């Protein structure tokens, strides 16, 4: 009852679509390279100077890419 029985085992682990894509070595490597290159572009734009609105938006975007890099690293590490 309510998944507490001894016969109920969790055979399929829930994975997000992104995790499934990263587990494929080719797609994972391509996604990682894409995120790294876009992170570099955002950093260059931030160093070049921008309006306050653009600066704030680019900062948020940079945080998002950094978080995505962490997720990719954790999924790749978990896969091994």
Which residues have CB under 8 Å from 65's CB, separation 6+? 35, 38, 39, 42
- For the chain, 80 residues long, give each residue's pLDDT as a single digit of tens: 566 666 555 557 788 888 888 888 899 899 999 999 999 999 999 898 877 888 889 999 999 999 999 999 998 888 76
> Is this prediction's pTM over 0.85?
no
Phi, psi of 7 (to 5 degrees): -80, -10
């Amino acid at each position: 009852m309510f998944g507490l029985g001894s016969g109920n085992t969790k055979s399929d682990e829930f994975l997000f679509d992104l995790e499934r894509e990263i587990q494929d070595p080719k797609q994972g490597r391509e996604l990682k390279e894409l995120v790294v290159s876009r992170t570099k572009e955002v950093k260059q734009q931030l160093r070049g100077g921008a309006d306050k609105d653009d600066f704030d938006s680019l900062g948020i975007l940079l945080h998002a890419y950094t978080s995505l890099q962490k997720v990719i690293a954790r999924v790749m590490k978990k896969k091994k």
